[in-house]
Structure 1
């Protein structure tokens, strides 16, 4: 796990060094800068290394292979050992034991098709001297970020937007991105908070022709619609096949030349990963969980119970509001763009303390999307009943519900007036028409919408698909990458092995989802390793006591940061409505902490980054 940077713009080496220093937390072990002279424009590559595989300096980056391929790479190629053997048999030579060198050799052997041979999480860019192009790619499910700016002057890319932002006088803040952030809690692909900077889409490659200054990108992988080949075996056979596949995914992710552990919340997903990690290893697996002192937020007892059963070396990290305040104050330094998922703070706390004992941690991210585990999928069953009511009657009820001052009632109104279940589900999931927001003209105008609205799969599966392409990509992966990299910790998720995702996609829907038994096959597999009664409790998210903190310890900060005169400087909102909702939160009438957190993050970002930069 590292930070990468590159440019064809004429920055001085000292400027490039400062750009790398800005995101040095991503890779504190070594900073490398290389300049390459071309017949067109000079190219500069930069790299911050977090050493995981082959700790020797021979694997430092930027990396040159066969005097013609130059690479900067962030992430891990989990199948690099088998791929290296294949490439060796084809005549390629290796001088390191790193996955970095394998990428270079694979590119020489397979060209742009090399990405189809990689199983991993990655963002990389290659300078090909022979072809005079830059070739780059991002992993299939978007675990690693890649930002870029393309202009007449040249091309620039980086792991984080702040590296491109420094010394850049040609940026403007995107009003559209702020509007999208307020609606979706993050800035969705391909946008960034700046109009001139974009994100490379998940599962995409690109080339940049150095002579023609031409940029071209294309997808090399996507989830299938419809499923090309459905799983034809029984449920029990599928469980056996899934265990074999997941076990291999876990084992591949346990390859490291540094200490490794597992995030263990005590829920289904992380417990299954911990169980599979512990079953075939002689050494005790290190596991980590977070404990909050506030009532109702401490679930560490469940993680401890699972850890005791699996006989792991378990660490419970105790956190309080003082650490939370410190991370809130520095939040935008690590996230670079406005980001409103409040679970980012406990994720950062977990990473901060886990790093004290390990450098790599396995996580359970991706299971809810692939195996239909979110509570919201239950809404589909309820909505199917609603849509048996005549449209005129639903429309009348919607008009009455819309008069209510309660946000939830307005959401129900949107569901009732939807013409089909697809848009009803979308209205229940995304709420860009909340009362405190200036309404969007086209709230559901995003390119991933087709994953939900086509009719070649059932609605439950399509709901999972759109979460894989939006919520997982825009939110979960961003949260995990920034939270862990803030403390130079690498997070690896076996559920995001593309083979696991493709297998989950092939399964009959009822293998994954039943109204009272979500993630059915994962639970059945887990109960072979950990007693079922450990999990007989409602599903809970990874959160922290913001509701309480905002009313007590952080009240003065909130009232100061989001005072009426401060709210006037935040675009896209109705200050009068926000002030009213903050008052409701403080007096205990309603819990509006998600909105408060969202605006606090945006306001602090604008104060830090908006001075002298136009909004348009």
Structure 2
């Protein structure tokens, strides 16, 4: 696990200054790889590759990067882990290929040289992103893992292509010292609280989409970053996995359960391989509990586990996590997330998430990562269970809303969604005794208005997009809105049911661009590697081949995982409604975060350049009065404001700095 950065000018450059620039880019992501630095500069080709190392596998110098293949064809910078690489290594050894060390990066290079890019990527299992110089074809090769666990950014300005594991590495290059906000990306952020690939917050910078690779000819600069994004090629498709799985399901429940259990056990075992200790996050939910339980069953010593405790009992699962830890025998640790901690982290968040990002669970994720890093370098996570096994609470709600939508006239729904909140409040009070039991505890004026807004749309995809949206960009942005919904523009297979459609959309968009961004940036900000066995592509494939009733039965999700866990733990330890993993943002904005928010919404901040100040102030005042709960919306605006204050200033000019060169730069 590491971080990398680099650039190419598509023409020869001056080596010394290129090395200074490259080191500045790598220094900006030192947190991703605190154990060492490596630089490679080919001045004749105009290519500079830099790497920061977090030593996990092959701690010796033979694991250092940038790494060249034995024949000298490739030079690679690689971020991530390839699981099961030892079996691929044995296969390559049988072909007469020799290795200097024991790292997975060396296996990657040999695989590329032996089978070619597409075939090698189809064989590799892991979480990774890489940039590789191919001297034979005079190309740069970029790739990102199947499900998007590891990030890869590509930017083009002033004839220079720059790339890296985080946007801050690109901003450290002089050609990117001054940046412009991409208005379409801003619209997507306002809608979702994150920015789906391939866009980023910066104009002229894109993310490589999960499960794709890209080859760039070093003799011909690309026309634009957008052209780069559209030139990528797929080597794996979650859409195909879903369609094929539904078309060729397992014959019965037990066959499916056995397949899921076998795949997950292998995935956990492979992720326990490291030359340093491996721990696990343990929230107390089904996903992390199943991973921790399997992990402990494979270990001869107590596994170290970590969780976050909240002051607010509505979001607190720490007592369950502690009870589970006692039962399975892990060495358990916890940290309490307090409002003061959130305040203390506010200034760190825009540095950790260096484009606007507004999932409130970013705070506890950062806290638990800091706790885990104080003990070790690697921790398992339970990410991926909700998307593949139907675990989100919004799935049964959306199916219920779909039924209501077929019964309620859309005209009435539109009228309700546009009605004054006071009137909706009165209607809510009147209707409360007559509501179905499943909904009665959730009825509020805010939720009735949101429900009416969802039902007012004609198509199911539009309704789900509305459910997953915060703001409508046209309501709150002050400039021209040119935003295309990521959910509506996604092309999906034709054999999906409603629940399948939601799960696949979340796998393609929400998972890589929210959940995995959150975990990667939080963990890597403190030099911690997070591994997710439920995101092994074999587990995902087994999930989609399972009968629908084992994924989401219409009322409850993760049925298969629940049944696998029943074999290992008393149901009293885990059989309860799903709880979130976020701060109580509504209460905190009225309490300990109030002054910080007021300064942003009531003062003259960078928000006013992009957001309608009167709209923000109105919602802020409604929230403070208790009339409405706009916590998630206001948190997203705050996160944009904090990001703008931090990153929309010109960066220091690296070319004007002349530090003494340190470390090593490979010769041409």
Match of 1:501 in 2: 540
- Find the aligned partners of 2:609 and 2:159 in 1 and give their Cα distance: 32
The total of aligned residue pairs comes to: 607
Q: Deviations over 1:531-578 (max 9, x none)?
A: 11112322101112333332222222221122243376241x332232
Q: Offset of 1:374 from its aligned partner? A: 0.4
- Find the aligned partners of 1:280 and 1:611 in 2 and give their Cα distance: 50
Matched, 1:25 2:31: yes
Q: Deviations over 1:392-451 (max 9, x none)?
A: x33234224322346544433332222233322332222442785249867654377335
TM-score by length of 2: 0.87
Is the 8 Å Cα contact of residues 148 and 210 (structure 2) preserved in structure 1? Answer: yes
Distance 1:348 1:116, change over 3 A: same
Match of 2:506 in 1: 467
1:272 aligns with one of 290, 312, 331? 290
Is the 8 Å Cα contact of residues 411 and 431 (structure 1) preserved in structure 2? Answer: no
Matched, 1:595 2:610: no
- Find the aligned partners of 1:444 and 1:499 in 2 and give their Cα distance: 32
- For residue 565 of structure 1, give the secondary structure of its aligned residue in structure 2: coil
Distance 1:129 1:605, change over 3 A: same
- For residue 261 of structure 1, give the secondary structure of its aligned residue in structure 2: strand
- Find the aligned partners of 1:407 and 1:547 in 2 and give their Cα distance: 13
- Find the aligned partners of 2:403 and 2:129 in 1 and give their Cα distance: 44
Q: Offset of 1:356 from its aligned partner? A: 0.9
Match of 2:21 in 1: 15
- Structure 1: gaps of 5 or more residues: none
Is the 8 Å Cα contact of residues 249 and 547 (structure 2) preserved in structure 1? Answer: yes
Matched, 1:102 2:111: no
Q: Deviations over 1:41-61 (max 9, x none)?
A: 321110000000010112111
Distance 1:236 1:96, change over 3 A: same
Is the 8 Å Cα contact of residues 205 and 217 (structure 1) preserved in structure 2? Answer: yes
Match of 1:63 in 2: 67
The more displaced of 533-542 and 351-360 is 533-542
Answer 1 or 2: higher relative contact order, Cα 8 Å, separation at least 6: 2
1:569 aligns with one of 601, 604, 608? 608
Q: Deviations over 1:25-53 (max 9, x none)?
A: 00000011111244xx3211100000000
Q: Offset of 1:170 from its aligned partner? A: 6.0
- Find the aligned partners of 2:581 and 2:160 in 1 and give their Cα distance: 42
Match of 2:364 in 1: 346
Match of 1:226 in 2: 243
The more displaced of 183-192 and 167-176 is 167-176
Is the 8 Å Cα contact of residues 432 and 443 (structure 1) preserved in structure 2? Answer: no
1:173 aligns with one of 176, 181, 195? 181
1:287-298, aligned counterparts within 5 Å?
287-298=305-316
Matched, 1:127 2:165: no
Distance 1:259 1:448, change over 3 A: farther
- For residue 308 of structure 1, give the secondary structure of its aligned residue in structure 2: helix
1:52-451, aligned counterparts within 5 Å?
52-66=56-70, 67-113=72-118, 114-151=120-157, 153-166=159-172, 167=174, 168-169=176-177, 171-214=179-222, 216-223=231-238, 224=240, 226-227=243-244, 229-389=247-407, 393-405=409-421, 408-433=447-472, 436-438=475-477, 445-446=485-486, 449-451=489-491
Q: Offset of 1:13 from its aligned partner? A: 1.4
Is the 8 Å Cα contact of residues 183 and 430 (structure 1) preserved in structure 2? Answer: yes
- Structure 2: gaps of 5 or more residues: 223-227, 422-444, 652-668
Q: Deviations over 1:143-172 (max 9, x none)?
A: 000001135623211001111112224632
- For residue 116 of structure 2, give the secondary structure of its aligned residue in structure 1: helix
Q: Deviations over 1:81-106 (max 9, x none)?
A: 01101111111111111101001000
- Find the aligned partners of 2:626 and 2:470 in 1 and give their Cα distance: 23
Match of 2:41 in 1: 35
- Is the helix fraction higher in 1 or 2? 2
The more displaced of 21-30 and 534-543 is 534-543
Is the 8 Å Cα contact of residues 138 and 205 (structure 1) preserved in structure 2? Answer: yes
- Find the aligned partners of 1:155 and 1:445 in 2 and give their Cα distance: 28
Distance 1:568 1:139, change over 3 A: closer
1:610 aligns with one of 648, 658, 662? 648
Match of 1:50 in 2: 54
The more displaced of 374-383 and 101-110 is 374-383
CA RMSD between the two structures: 2.1
Is the 8 Å Cα contact of residues 127 and 134 (structure 1) preserved in structure 2? Answer: yes
TM-score by length of 1: 0.94
Is the 8 Å Cα contact of residues 436 and 575 (structure 1) preserved in structure 2? Answer: no
- Find the aligned partners of 1:481 and 1:550 in 2 and give their Cα distance: 26
Is the 8 Å Cα contact of residues 448 and 466 (structure 1) preserved in structure 2? Answer: no
Distance 1:401 1:14, change over 3 A: closer
- For residue 156 of structure 2, give the secondary structure of its aligned residue in structure 1: strand
The more displaced of 363-372 and 238-247 is 238-247
Q: Deviations over 1:374-400 (max 9, x none)?
A: 01111233134224327xx33234224
- Find the aligned partners of 1:594 and 1:4 in 2 and give their Cα distance: 33
- Find the aligned partners of 1:280 and 1:400 in 2 and give their Cα distance: 55
The more displaced of 353-362 and 161-170 is 161-170
Is the 8 Å Cα contact of residues 371 and 504 (structure 1) preserved in structure 2? Answer: yes
